Copies of this chain bind each other. A is one copy, B any other.
């Protein structure tokens, strides 16, 4: 289905909340309360985002999490790879070796091109775009029927 994991989806929800809120520092328990996501899960996600340098954490009383950069500087690609690892459709997109599909697959180069295109698409959208009030013009929505041709 080529879809994002649930955790990545949660991450965008959490980050959107943090980006929108005037207050800078948010504790995990607070984010859990606001978003409705269970605390342990929120915690796990926040840790991943810290490791990816999207958030900065402060321990101890009055501690919490804060955005490491401005929303305009946090791309969707970054968020996805923070939670799911490298963005790569096929094995050979990551490393040329180690793939070697059952005899005869030699299409690595072309997949890389596709992969690069997708990566660019995800790089071009930032957290700031996600929280921008949506202008839902009908033309922008993907017509589901067109998915099957």
Q: Which residues of A contact B (CB under 8 A)?
A: 1-4, 9-10, 12-13, 16-17, 34-37, 52, 75-78, 80-81, 84-91, 93-96, 101-119, 121-122, 124-125, 129-132, 134-136, 140-142, 144, 147-149
Complex CA–CA separation, A103 to B13 (angstroms): 9
Complex CA–CA separation, A75 to B108 (angstroms): 17
Decide: A80 near B2, CB < 8 A? Known: A107-B12, A107-B131, A110-B129: yes
Number of copies: 2
Partner of A141, one of B4, B104, B112: B112
Partner of A52, one of B17, B88, B130, B148: B148
Q: Are A2 and B148 in contact (CB under 8 A)?
A: no
Complex CA–CA separation, A7 to B13 (angstroms): 31
Q: Are B103 and A35 in contact (CB under 8 A)?
A: yes
Partner of A86, one of B10, B93, B129, B144: B144
